[in-house]
Amino acid sequence: MKALVTGGAGFIGSHVVDAYLTQGLDVVVVDDLSRGARANVPAKARFRQGDVRDPSAMQAVFEEEKPDLVNHHAAQIDVRKSVSDPASDAATNILASVHLLDLAVKHGVERLVYASTGGVIYGEPAVLPADEATPVRPLAPYGVSKHTVEHYLFVYRALYGLNYVVLRYGNVYGPRQSSKGEAGVVAIFCKQMLAGVTPTIYGDGKKTRDYVEVSDVARANVQALKVGDGEIFNIATAVPTTDYEVFDAVRTALGIAPFEPHYAPKRPGEVDHIYLNAEKARKQLHWQAELSFREGVKRTADWFRDRSQKSGVRSQK
C-alpha cells in the first residue's frame, strides 16, 4: 500500500511518516518546505517538493505516484495569521484541500486521513471537556477553515464514496516542533530558555490547553488507517494544562534555576480554556494517549538541548 503524506516534512507529518514506514507502507511525502525541513523526511520515504496550492503539481504527484491512501497534514496553522489574512488561510486550508479531494476521487484513493483541530474548532465551550458533539464555534478563521473541510469530506463520501477519518488534535508538542512563529509553545519555551531568553506568556498564565505528545498522535494516524470510517475523533488527553504549568514543566525539564516569565496581553483569536473528551477515540479508534505531559516535555526538552549543544548554543544551568 502506498501512502501520500502532505506536509510530511513538517513536525507532525514527519512523525506520521515514521509511523507509516514502521507499518510497512510505501510512503511519498509532498511538502513545500515553508515550515518543514528536508532533514525530517526519513530516507525510506520518497520526497517531492511541491505546494498543495499548485493544482498542476499535485495532479502530477497523483498521476505518477498513484497513492492508495492520503494523509493530509499540509496546512496554514498560524491562528494570528488567519485573523490578519483570512483569505490566504482559506486558500491553503480550504481551496487546496478541496482540490486534493478531487484528485483523490479521480485517482481512486481508498482512504483519506485529515488532520483537523480540536484546540481551536470549538471556541469557548459551555461544557468541558469538549466532545465531538460540542457545537463548533471557532473564534479564529483558522478554526473555520479546518472545520469547513470536514464538511467537504462528508459530502465527498456521500457523493463519490471517498472514505475518510477526521482527527481533531489537541495542542500537539514534541521533538521536531518548530520554535518559529505562533505555533508550538513548548518548543518556543525550550528554545528561548536554552538561549537564556525569558519567555513571554500571553495572558495571565491561567489559560488552559490539552497537550498531546506527537508520538501518541502518530499512533492515532496509524489506527485511522484501520477503523473509524467516516468518523471524527478528538485526539487529546482530557487534561487541562495552564500556560504557567507549561512554563514550569519546561523550566524543570531543562534543569534551569527558578525564574518567572514575562506577561503580555492575550492575543486575538485565542480561547481561554479548552480540553477535549477523547472517549470516542478510545472506544472506536482503539486509541488513547499514553505519555504524561511531564514525560513528553522531558523528551522534547532533551531533543532541543541536544540540538542546541550541536549548534553551539549554551543553556543556563
* Predicted structure pTM score: 0.95
pLDDT recorded at residue 180: 74
Spatial separation of the C-alpha atoms in residues 304 and 259, rounded to whole Å? 20
C-alpha cell at 112: 483519506
Read off the pLDDT of each residue in 249-262 and give the average, rounded to a whole number: 96
pLDDT recorded at residue 179: 78
At 305, is the pLDDT very low, low, confident or very high (cuts 50, 70, 90)? very high
Residue 146 CB coordination number (10 Å):
29
Asked if 57 and 103 count as a contact pair (C-beta separation under 8 A), the reply is no
At 12, which helix (H) or strand (E)? helix 11-22
pLDDT recorded at residue 183: 62
The domain 2-172+212-235: what is its CATH number?
Answer: 3.40.50.720
> What does 150-177 look like in DSSP terms, one character per residue?
HHHHHHHHHHH---EEEEEE-EEE-TT-
HEC assignment per residue over 56-89: HHHHHHHHHHCCCEEEECCCCCCHHHHHHCHHHH
pLDDT recorded at residue 315: 44
Written out in words, the top-level CATH class of the domain with range 178-209+239-270+292-311 is alpha beta
At 312, is the pLDDT very low, low, confident or very high (cuts 50, 70, 90)? low
Hey, where are the domains in the chain?
2-172+212-235, 178-209+239-270+292-311
Q: Of 114, 122, 142, 173, which is the active-site residue?
A: 142
142 is catalytic: yes
Nearest alpha carbon to residue 70 among 118, 27, 11, 14: 27
Percentage of the chain surpassing pLDDT 70? 97
Q: Say yes or no to pLDDT of 311 above 90.
A: no
At 317, is the pLDDT very low, low, confident or very high (cuts 50, 70, 90)? very low
Q: What is the DSSP letter of 38?
A: G
Read off the pLDDT of each residue in 44-72 and give the average, rounded to a whole number: 98
Same fold, 2-172+212-235 and 178-209+239-270+292-311: no
Spatial separation of the C-alpha atoms in residues 280 and 269, rounded to whole Å? 27
Burial of residue 198 (CB within 10 Å: 0-12, 13-18, 19+) is: exposed
pLDDT of 159-203, one tens digit each? 999 999 999 999 999 999 987 755 689 999 999 999 999 999 999
pLDDT recorded at residue 270: 86
pLDDT recorded at residue 310: 79
At 316, is the pLDDT very low, low, confident or very high (cuts 50, 70, 90)? very low
Spatial separation of the C-alpha atoms in residues 268 and 71, rounded to whole Å? 30
pLDDT recorded at residue 181: 59
Read off the pLDDT of each residue in 141-158 and give the average, rounded to a whole number: 98
* Crossing angle of helices 214-223 and 11-22, rounded to 10°: 50
pLDDT recorded at residue 224: 98
Query: To the nearest whole number, what is the mean pLDDT of the chain?
Result: 95
